[in-house]
Amino acid sequence: MIVRTMCPKDIAEVAEVEKIAWGPLAASKETIAQRSAVFEKGSIVVIEKGQVVGYAASQLTDHISTKSWDAQTDCGQIAQSHRPEGAIAYGVSMSARPGVSGKGVAHHVIDAYTKMYLGGGCRAMCVGSRVPGFVKWIRHNQDGNLTDYVVPQTDGRFRDPELRLYAANGFNLLWDMPDYFPDEKSAGHGAMMIRTQM
């Protein structure tokens, strides 16, 4: 598995991976190119057997926010939200082809970003996670709410599969974020996750 900065020749394949992972919410070729034009180092690809199997985009910021993904990322375009002097890295998007062997795309992406950002002097890496288990959980826990849902259980494990993925890669919960991203299974909500240690 190779992880490297995205080049213009990768864009068509990256758009394919985005479509598979995100369906109608996938980033277009123009958006993928735009993110790289604003902050080249922030866009990376994961390659397996010569094929793009993963893509991630990130930006730098100078604060951590509770606002929606659209507000925090300039609707995913990053032109108005990337701060070249910022000391906090923020995950804009990540996508993978299903069934990638070994440790999976997320592990390789987060490992590469950790070396680049925390190893390069950033104070923290943040990501706004969706909470795709929330709608199912709230159906059976009608007295509960988003804050209850995102807090780790007594055994330390998160209820949500996407939060568990970030926790398995060194992230901790900062706060829940109502109306973060229009994902049906999350009822539009999310949670801010942070990693500060190599």
Ligand X SMILES: CC(C)(COP(=O)(O)OP(=O)(O)OC[C@H]1O[C@@H](n2cnc3c(N)ncnc32)[C@H](O)[C@@H]1OP(=O)(O)O)[C@@H](O)C(=O)NCCC(=O)NCCS
Q: What part of residues 159-188 is at the interface with ligand X (CB under 6 A)? A: 161-162, 165
Min separation Cβ 80 and ligand X, Å: 20
Contact status: 68 vs ligand X (CB under 6 A)? no
Q: Which residue has the tokens 């900065």?
A: 5
Q: Which is nearer to ligand X, 85 or 109 (CB)?
A: 109
Q: Which is nearer to ligand X, 118 or 130 (CB)?
A: 130
Query: Which x/- pattern, by CB under 6 A, does the window 14-53 give for ligand X?
Result: -------xx-------------------------------
Question: Nearest 5 degrees, angle CA 73-CA 123-CA 188?
Answer: 35
Which of the stretches 6-14, 78-86, 102-110, 113-121 binds ligand X when contact is defined by CB under 6 A?
Answer: 102-110
> Which residue from 26, 96, 126, 194 is in contact with ligand X, where contact means CB under 6 A?
96
Min separation Cβ 72 and ligand X, Å: 12
DSSP the chain: -EEEE--GGGHHHHHHHHHHHHGGGPPPHHHHHHHHHH-GGG-EEEEETTEEEEEEEEEEESS---S-HHHHHTTTT-TTT--TT-SEEEEEEEEE-TT--TT-HHHHHHHHHIIIIITTT-SEEEEEEE-TTHHHHHHH-TT--HHHHHS--TTS--SSHHHHHHHHTT-EEEEEETT-S--GGGTT-EEEEEE---
Q: Which is nearer to ligand X, 51 or 143 (CB)?
A: 51
> Which residue from 93, 113, 126, 158 is in contact with ligand X, where contact means CB under 6 A?
93
| Contact partners, residue 12, CB within 8 Å, separation at least 6 | 29
Which of the stretches 58-66, 97-105, 145-153, 172-180 binds ligand X when contact is defined by CB under 6 A?
Answer: 97-105
- How many chain residues interact with ligand X (CB under 6 A)? 15
Interface residues toward ligand X, by CB under 6 A: 21-22, 93-96, 100, 104-106, 130, 132, 161-162, 165
